[in-house]
Amino acid sequence: MRYFYSFIFVGIICAIASIIYDNSKLTIGHITSLFVIIGSILGFLGIYDTIDSFGYGFNLPITSFGNALYLSAYQGFKESGVLGLFMSMLKTTSGGITATVIFGFIVSLICKPKD
């Protein structure tokens, strides 16, 4: 049942993104950035952790990336002040970012873009 709820939640996120994309002039990059910011704001307000406690795939979509950025930046701020905010912002997300760059490079070698 957990997989079903995860599928439904991530599907709702994708549906919202599709609705925004179809009804506005925002690009996919803008919408992705919007969801990262929304995840950060929900993390700041403490709402994301409450929602994530249900365990139904809330840590899967792009909003969780924003929440992870917020949490690591806040932890660095608590430990080292303003400088720690910048030093630890990508600490928890560096693995995902590195994997995205590497897999993106591999896919770009294999696939040819259409004109």
Domain ranges, ordered by start, for the chain: 2-110
Residue 67 has pLDDT above 60, yes or no: yes
Residue 65 has pLDDT above 70, yes or no: yes
Global pTM exceeds 0.85: no
Q: 33 or 89: whose pLDDT is higher?
A: 33
Question: Rounded distance, CA 24 to CA 69, Å?
Answer: 27
Model confidence over 73-104: pLDDT tens digits?
A: 899 899 888 888 888 887 888 888 899 899 99
